[in-house]
Structures are given as C-alpha cells and as structure tokens.
Amino acid sequence: MLQNAPKSGEPASVAYEGFSKVVAGGALGVNVYFGSNSSGKAQIVASGDMALGRTLEAATADKDVIGCLLMNPVRWSGLAT
C-alpha cells in the first residue's frame, strides 16, 4: 500500500502489513475484509479475489480515507466475514 505521493525519481514509501489508511471505492463497513478495485481503491473482497486487509473504520462514500489493518495478501475463499 503506497503511503506517500512521490514525484518521478523520488522514493516510494510502501506498507505491506500493519496499521495504515486506505482510500475507499464506496461504502465499506467496519471489520470488513477488503481487496482493491481497478482504480486501486478498497472494496469488499469477493470470493477468489485477493484479500489485502480488514477495515477499522466505516466508509460512507467513494474516496473516503479510513483506517485499516493490512495483512499478507491471501486468495479469499469467502468462508469468514
């Protein structure tokens, strides 16, 4: 998960596990597993997609920035919520 907005030639700061912020691609509840949509925004993960983390806050609209807990990416089976 990109943590900054580097200009060309500047280093990027990337988080792959732990507490972070994420841009929502629409409404998301609290404690929901999420993946990313084609724009790179968080969306509820669907079975067969890669789960990237769990929300810690709710998002009510596209582009809301919310807290999350990133985890090692895993192919989601849809068995747990």
**Residue 58 within a domain:** yes
pLDDT category at 2 given cuts 50, 70, 90 is: confident
Percent of the chain, pLDDT > 90?
85
Element (H, E) at 32: none
79 or 81, which is more confident: 79
**Residue 7 within a domain:** no
Full DSSP string of 35-69: EE-TTS-EEEPPTTSEEEEEESS-B-STT-EEEEE
pLDDT of residue 78: 73
**Residue 10 within a domain:** no
Beta pairing partners, 43: 35
pLDDT of residue 36: 95
**Residue 32 within a domain:** yes
Decide the pairing of beta strands 65-75 and 18-23.
antiparallel
The number of domains in the chain is 1
pLDDT category at 79 given cuts 50, 70, 90 is: low
**Residue 8 within a domain:** no
**Residue 52 within a domain:** yes
